[in-house]
């Protein structure tokens, strides 16, 4: 095999796969600066490769096939620096080997090894691809075209169905297809066939000549767009060469303006780049629109990463670390050799030490105690099962809300006790937590679980009793920067609910981000913390903050 020289470095943890990759690079004409198969890393690690290629003047793009991480935290530190200078594309295998595990918290139940890997890639700016084909498709675009400056795309096609497919694929990736200006539309009408469409996509119909295609492209140069996607279906294969020449002649003008140009010649598999040249730049060509959209989306993802400022880890001057450490030390005195769940009073005091608001609550050991506490807190209140062994209190009838009198509180205590007795779990009840009811707000969840390789992983998303059903959450690796916190809040699918939905007021997003950063600080300071579940957190409207309504925190002695 003779692999051409180029500016792309490839590292793989699979020796057998490495041979196939080299053969494929030869077939498609992809030039490599280095190729390294590190296997089980006896001599050279992935971290060392990244460090070397970060500084290498011979390498502009880094491709990785990974099966595992030797030291994920060190890898993340190096990758952050690398991606600020050049793109790193990665395929990580083992997505389905470990699913959600049985755990004693919502956070643990929704975490997996692959979620941890995905969090690392997102935080470091690495571009994750699901398949090797997607990896090569994206690398081809990055190696030959400028990065898109935004997400506004124009589509030029000679087939309506193909144009719609491309539009659907691009819209699914978050791209916008703005309508072309009236001036451009009028000019297109002057020379395109009467049945052509002039909005966006521009459908020239199959009757168009290569010169008309080139003229159409020249008009797109004057539009406010960030990329152009050409979808061409050759009526006869002989026309493909003439169309390629027309595209090649206009392509340098797009490059001068920093607008990436990529094409899909439907049904035609071109293994090597043929449109353009190494001197003036090749135009990546793909067989189907979906591949074109994926490659452009990943290029835009990296473009956005370069615009993002470096995050900072804030320092809070209103926390009480000694008080928090004392709370945990006292709790562990009850279980010096094993992990233990803090009770609600300890949780409230621990969170308060770090400036995190917890709905006023106290533990009651009897129905009468519960009523007395409710009188002191003020109605309405919620009564919740207090048990170190039962995670999902709602599932066992352990939560009764909106109680407005002492009689109702005592009745709720007895009802919870009876509910547990019916399922033979009465001994697990250690009392109840009486808590001030919070009105309004959006239910969210914040959690943390310890991963043996990645360390603490922090979770944020939609909370309440359906947290594990919808699993609308995002994970990041601790410690969080201010940018990480902002990304987490906007990453979960239902994030628009925080902006105000159907007449509800917008939520206090700065307070939510602040809470995430304070939790990260708490995890950094108190190493004994093993798991955190704050669910639900009630995010109030702008200016009113957010409050933890229920929480579970597990601590364990630190091994010497």
Task: Indicate the domain borders of the chain.
Answer: 5-143, 153-307, 309-359+438-560, 360-437
Q: What is the pLDDT of residue 390?
A: 87
* Fold equal for 5-143 and 153-307: yes
Q: What is the pLDDT of residue 96?
A: 60
> How many Å apart are CA 532 and CA 546, to the nearest integer?
17
Q: What is the pLDDT of residue 320?
A: 97
DSSP designation for 183: H
Under CATH, to which class is 309-359+438-560 assigned? alpha beta
Q: What is the pLDDT of residue 418?
A: 95
Predicted confidence band at 106 (pLDDT cuts at 50, 70, 90)?
A: low
Q: What is the pLDDT of residue 71?
A: 82
Task: Judge whether residue 70 has pLDDT over 90.
Answer: no
Q: What is the pLDDT of residue 99?
A: 39
What average pLDDT does range 365-392 have in this prediction?
92
DSSP-assigned states of every residue in 149-174: SSSBEEEEES-HHHHHHHHHHHHHTT
Residue range 166-219, pLDDT digits in tens: 999 999 999 999 999 999 999 999 999 999 999 999 999 988 889 999 999 999
Residues 6+ apart with CB under 8 A from 446: 458, 459, 460, 515, 516, 519, 532, 534, 535, 537
> How many Å apart are CA 274 and CA 267, to the nearest integer?
16
Task: Judge whether residue 531 has pLDDT over 60.
Answer: yes
What average pLDDT does range 277-304 have in this prediction?
90
Kindly state the percentage of the chain with pLDDT values over 90: 68
CATH superfamily of 360-437: ATP-grasp fold, A domain (3.30.1490.20)
Does residue 3 have a cis peptide bond before it, meaning omega lies within 30 degrees of 0?
Answer: no
**Domain with residues 153-307, CATH architecture:** 3-Layer(aba) Sandwich (3.40)
Three-state SS at 535: strand
Task: Judge whether residue 538 has pLDDT over 60.
Answer: yes
Q: What is the pLDDT of residue 102?
A: 41
Mean pLDDT in the chain? 90
Residue range 445-463, pLDDT digits in tens: 999 999 888 899 999 999 9
- Mean pLDDT lowest among 105-114, 136-145, 231-240, 487-496: 105-114
Task: Judge whether residue 103 has pLDDT over 60.
Answer: no
Task: Judge whether residue 413 has pLDDT over 50.
Answer: yes
Torsion of Cα atoms, 441 then 496 then 103 then 339, to 10° = -50
- Tell me the two tokens of residue 377: 């807190």
- Tell me the two tokens of residue 18: 């490495």
Task: Judge whether residue 109 has pLDDT over 70.
Answer: no
What average pLDDT does range 237-257 have in this prediction?
89
Q: Long-range contacts of range 297-300, CB-CB < 8 Å, 24 or more positions apart?
A: 297/170, 297/173, 297/174, 297/175, 298/89, 298/127, 298/129, 298/134, 298/138, 298/141, 299/138, 299/141, 299/142, 299/145, 299/147, 299/148, 299/260, 300/147, 300/148, 300/150, 300/151, 300/175, 300/227
> How many Å apart are CA 250 and CA 257, to the nearest integer?
12
When the candidates are 3.30.160.270, 3.30.590.10, 3.40.50.2300, 3.40.50.261, the CATH number that belongs to 5-143 is: 3.40.50.261
């Amino acid at each position: 095999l003779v692999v051409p020289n180029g500016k792309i470095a490839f590292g793989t943890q699979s020796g057998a796969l490495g041979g196939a990759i080299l053969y494929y690079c030869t077939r498609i004409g992809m030039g490599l600066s280095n190729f390294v198969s590190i296997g089980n890393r006896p001599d050279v690690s992935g971290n060392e490769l990244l460090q070397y290629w970060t500084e290498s003047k011979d390498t502009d793009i880094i491709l990785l096939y990974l099966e595992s991480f030797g030291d994920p935290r060190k890898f993340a530190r190096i990758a952050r620096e690398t991606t600020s200078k050049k793109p790193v594309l990665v395929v990580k295998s083992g997505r389905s080997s470990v699913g959600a595990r049985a755990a004693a918290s919502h956070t643990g139940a929704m975490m997996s090894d692959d979620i941890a890997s995905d969090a690392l890639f997102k935080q470091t700016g690495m571009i994750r691809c699901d398949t090797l084909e997607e990896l090569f498709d994206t690398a081809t675009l990055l190696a030959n075209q400028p990065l898109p400056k935004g997400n506004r795309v124009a589509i030029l096609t000679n087939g309506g169905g193909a144009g719609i497919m491309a539009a659907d694929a691009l819209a699914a990736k978050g791209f916008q297809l703005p309508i072309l200006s009236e001036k451009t539309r009028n000019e297109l009408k002057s020379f395109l066939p009467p049945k052509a469409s002039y909005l966006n996509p521009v459908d020239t119909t199959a009757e168009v000549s290569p010169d008309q295609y080139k003229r159409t492209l020249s008009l797109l140069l004057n539009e406010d767009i960030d990329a152009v996607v050409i979808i061409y279906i050759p009526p006869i294969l002989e026309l493909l060469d003439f169309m390629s020449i027309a595209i090649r002649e206009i392509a340098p003008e797009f490059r001068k303006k920093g607008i990436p140009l990529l094409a899909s010649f439907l049904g035609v598999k071109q293994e090597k780049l043929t449109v353009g040249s190494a001197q003036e730049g090749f135009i990546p060509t793909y067989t189907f629109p979906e591949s074109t959209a994926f490659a452009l989306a990943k290029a835009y993802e990296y473009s956005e990463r370069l615009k993002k400022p470096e995050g900072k880890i804030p320092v809070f001057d209103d926390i009480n670390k000694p008080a928090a450490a004392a709370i945990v030390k006292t709790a562990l005195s009850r279980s010096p050799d094993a992990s233990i769940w803090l009770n609600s009073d300890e949780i409230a005091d621990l969170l308060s030490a770090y400036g995190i608001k917890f709905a006023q609550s106290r533990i009651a050991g009897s129905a009468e105690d519960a009523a007395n506490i409710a009188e002191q807190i003020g109605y309405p209140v919620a009564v919740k099962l207090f048990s170190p062994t039962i995670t999902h209190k709602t599932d066992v009838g352990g939560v009764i809300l909106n109680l407005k009198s002492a009689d109702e509180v005592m009745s709720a205590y007895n009802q919870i006790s009876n509910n547990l007795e019916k399922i033979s779990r009465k001994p697990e009840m250690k009392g109840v937590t009486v808590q001030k009811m919070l009105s309004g707000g959006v239910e969210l969840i914040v959690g943390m679980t310890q991963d043996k390789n990645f360390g603490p992983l922090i979770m944020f998303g939609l909370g309440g009793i359906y947290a594990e059903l919808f699993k609308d959450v995002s994970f990041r690796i601790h410690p969080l920067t201010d940018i990480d916190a902002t990304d987490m809040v906007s990453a979960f699918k239902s994030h628009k609910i925080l902006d105000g939905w159907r007449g509800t007021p917008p939520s206090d997003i700065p307070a939510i981000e602040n809470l995430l950063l304070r939790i990260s600080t708490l995890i950094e300071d108190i190493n004994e913390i093993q798991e955190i579940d704050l669910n639900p957190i009630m995010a109030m409207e702008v200016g009113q903050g957010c409050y933890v309504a229920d929480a579970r925190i597990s601590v364990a002695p630190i091994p010497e």
